[in-house]
């Protein structure tokens, strides 16, 4: 199962889980990155960091280290 930082731009899928139970995981969940939520990876910055993801109808920018903690299923 890939993580959000490993998939190509334009990919759609569903969030499966967030690894860890620390402050970063809590912050991701507060921003709407929750299990079962559909997403689309919109773009990456020229050097690959940050990533722009559409979740809940809005754009969210995530660092690559944060995106690596989000396990996804590609649809």
Which homologous superfamily is 4-74 in? Ferrous iron transport protein A (FeoA) (2.30.30.90)
Q: Could you report the per-residue pLDDT of 42-51, keeping only the tens digit for each?
A: 999 988 889 9
Q: Among 38, 36, 35, which residue's Cα sits nearest to residue 58?
A: 38
Q: pLDDT-derived band of residue 38, with 50, 70 and 90 as boundaries?
A: very high
- Say whether pTM exceeds 0.75: yes
9 pLDDT more than 90: yes
Mean pLDDT of the chain: 92
Domain residue extents for the chain: 4-74
Instruction: Give, in order, the Cα–Cα distances in Å from 4 to each of 16, 18, 31.
Output: 10, 10, 15
- What is the structure's pLDDT at 1? 85
- Residue 68, pLDDT > 90, answer yes
């Amino acid at each position: 199962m890939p993580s959000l930082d490993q998939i190509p731009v334009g990919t759609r899928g569903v969030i499966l889980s967030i690894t860890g139970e620390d402050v970063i995981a809590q912050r991701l969940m507060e921003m709407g990155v929750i299990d079962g939520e559909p997403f689309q990876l919109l773009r990456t910055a020229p050097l690959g960091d940050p990533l722009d993801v559409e979740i809940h109808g809005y754009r969210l920018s995530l660092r690559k280290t944060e995106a690596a903690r989000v396990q996804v299923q590609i649809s």
